[in-house]
Amino acid sequence: MPVPRPRLGVAILTMGNRASEVAALLKAVARQDSPPQRIVVVGNGSPLPPMDETVTTVELNDNLGVSGGRNAAIDELRRFGDVDVVVDLDDDGLLIDSEVFSRIEELYEDDPGLGILSFRIADEEGVTQRRHVPRLRASDPLRGGEVTTFLGGGHTLSLRMLDQVGGWPDEFFFSHEETDLAWRALDAGWRIVYAPELLLQHPRTSPARHAVYYRTTARNRVWLARRHLPALLVPVYLGTWAALTLLRTRSLTGLRAWGGGFAEGLRTMCGRRRPMRWSTVWRMARLGRPPVV
């Protein structure tokens, strides 16, 4: 049975250093053929420039990271009570097509079990980096379908889903917060769909550009395993990623930071442990990505 056409709320998180990019993104949002119900821009520990009256601004005193900042945006959208789906967009992204929001509405209207939509991210030349395809077989970024994770730069979240599984993991700050939310959604029975027709243009970047990348990546992977995996899979998952990191990382400084983060993940609290069901593990395996890789 179809569900009512959802009302969209746009959330943009910024640290105040991309004023021109945010302005361009807001113009692209305004050009959508189906306008959103609400637009919220969050200054993550930074002031915001004056914006159009159609935009609600939130200025956080401190940088709460990606997770905390996005939770603040969701809280603000909930306050109005007229949004069903949150559209998260990177502040340096750009919507090229004007039919993105109407397509989002169609997909949610047709699928009551749809929890998360993942956009396709491509650079100015139309190239999608391998890391921006949310599945192991990444040779064809135009092949959509059900997946087990999603892209932080451009995605949508059902508020009904968030009501059930909770929001972003504040303590993660940055890195793997999408996987944490995705695993909770999957374990609750929601679907995650990669929809390549939803395009977000984004500059080609490397996640290692962030100073905390290696430490938080390692720490948060350990937290993921401790929070969500059945006990038998915890050493398999961590062993797989430790081996891949050692093979891929060429920076000794990065490896030292990674090792420190790994140790931090083992010795510090990671939130409540709620291991996923084995049926969820099997579902993820059937979708092509069991939670060990």
Specify the pLDDT at position 213.
87
- 200 in any annotated domain: yes
pLDDT in tens, 76-135: 999 999 999 999 999 999 999 999 999 999 999 999 999 999 999 999 999 999 889 998
- 259 in any annotated domain: yes
Q: Is the CB of residue 43 less than 8 Å from the CB of residue 63?
A: no
Number of structural domains found in the chain: 2
Which residues 6+ apart lie within 8 Å of 240 measured at CB? Answer: 292, 293
- 28 in any annotated domain: yes
* Residue at a domain's end among 205, 230, 260: 205
In this prediction, what percent of the chain has a pLDDT beyond 70?
97
For residues 147 and 97, state if they share a domain.
yes
CATH code of residue 80: 3.90.550.10
Largest CA distance in the chain: 55
Over residues 131-152, the mean pLDDT reads 92
CA atoms within 13 A of residue 147's CA, in its CB half-sphere: 27
For residues 24 and 128, state if they share a domain.
yes
For residues 18 and 98, state if they share a domain.
yes
The answer on pLDDT for 185 being more than 80 is yes
- 130 in any annotated domain: yes
pTM of the model: 0.95
For residues 47 and 159, state if they share a domain.
yes
Per-residue confidence at 211, pLDDT binned at 50, 70, 90?
A: low
Q: Which long-range contacts (CB under 8 A, 24 or more apart) does 21-26 make?
A: 21/91, 21/92, 21/94, 22/91, 24/94, 25/89, 25/91, 25/93, 25/94, 25/95, 26/51, 26/52, 26/55
For residues 193 and 216, state if they share a domain.
no
Specify the pLDDT at position 2.
60
Residue range of the domain that includes 115: 8-205
Rounded to an integer, what distance in angstroms lies between the CA atom of residue 191 and that of residue 200? 21
Average pLDDT, the chain: 94
